[in-house]
Homo-oligomer: A and B are copies of this chain.
Amino acid sequence: MVYFDHNATTPLPKAARAAWLQAADEAWHNPSSPYRASARVRNLLEGSRGRLAEFLGCRADEVVFNSGATEANNALFTHLSRRSDAGRGVLLSPVEHPCVLEAASFSFSGRVTFLNVDGDGVVDPEDLRAKLRETSPLLVSVQAANNETGVIQPFQALAKICREHGVWFHCDAAQWFGKLPGSRLQGCDFVTGSAHKFGGPKGTGFLRVPSAADDFRGQLGGEQEHGHRAGTENYPSVAAMLAALEEREAGGYADLAERASRRNRFESRLLKELPGAKVVAMERERLWNTVSILPPRYENHGWVMKLDREGFAVSTGSACASGSQSPSHVLAAMGYTAEEARRVVRVSAGPETREEDWLGLAQAFGRVWRRWEAKGTDSSLTEVISI
């Protein structure tokens, strides 16, 4: 199977697998225990914290390891809502991941304001300026890159504006890390990362918490993570996460232009194979790995099933929403109709995806399309129902 769903999760590279095994075998002791074997693990953990801080361009004690982006984003809004100035509310883009939208809506019920996005889902810095004046929020949260479309937000500009206004800026960078340099997040106050999106193990991630928010408490009940998050530290997974990120950061960004042109050649070919199809936000700055395709016909579940039979794993959108029947909130915010959103197929490559994988996928789209069309449009409904 050729895997084109790296935005949902990506397998462990050898280095991460080896790092996990070595730590599980040799550094499994509880870092908070009082003897020397534990002190060694504590030192290793702090070493990982320092290395991650270097990628982020922040202080080591600003890095809070946790169970992943969903925990990070939930903990951030829960924590903020406990502050005495929580009445100030929060400002979000409407294309954030559901774990930002739902956590914020729950903790700041009635105090969430949405930024405008254009037809490509991009936030306008001028709209941010205007809404900062109008609403005087406690925090602004805008993602680095969208998980469904790959569209990149002008987060550096947005962070700068927030800083000028003395308002915290949070960037959910779950889809950014390992695809583009982590150092670009340096100007953000809070930053969310998820290991399994860039080759680390599932169940691991981090939140950068600025020193100015040193009262941050995620899980309660222990002094781990410099008091920011209770719970036994998961050093094997942290070690594997760092090994994965180091591999991506060390070798991953030199050939970005080549990766983007591979993606572009796929898109050109796809539009020939699939007449009438559209690539979502095609003209905007996007991740080199993500293509969101609006085919001229047929629901996306049918496309996924048929491409699976052709040997390609692609997705209907975000994995967490695949179970639900409601159309993508991201595409809705961009002005797509529910009917269009139900057609959209997401393709997301990995660092090892080759030219021939992309080409093969474009050709598979073409084969599926021509076969489907040959059967007549009336059979499409039956195909979808029979999944």
**Residues in chain A within 8 A of chain B (CB atoms):** 1, 5, 8-9, 11-12, 17, 20-21, 24-25, 28-30, 32-38, 66-71, 73-74, 78, 97-103, 106, 194, 196, 201-204, 219-224, 230-237, 301, 304-305, 308, 313-316, 319-324
Contact = CB atoms under 8 A, between A and B. Distances in A.
Contacts of A204: 203
Contact of A99 (B222, B322, B323): B222
A73 B220 CA distance: 9
Contact of A98 (B17, B69, B100, B221): B221
B35 A12 contact: no
B70 A324 contact: no
B70 A222 contact: yes
Complex A-B, nearest 4 residue pairs according to Cβ-Cβ distance, in ascending order: A99-B221, A70-B231, A222-B320, A203-B234
Tallying the copies of this chain within the complex gives 2
B231 A68 contact: yes
B37 A323 contact: no
Given A24-B12, A99-B221, A234 B202 contact: yes
A67 to B, nearest CB: 4
A101 B221 contact: yes
A34 B304 contact: yes
Contact of A11 (B28, B97, B106, B237): B28
Contacts of A24: 11-12, 17, 20, 201
Given A201-B24, A203-B67, A33 B220 contact: no
Contacts of A201: 24, 234, 236-237
7 contacts: A5-B33, A35-B314, A68-B232, A102-B220, A106-B220, A223-B321, A232-B320
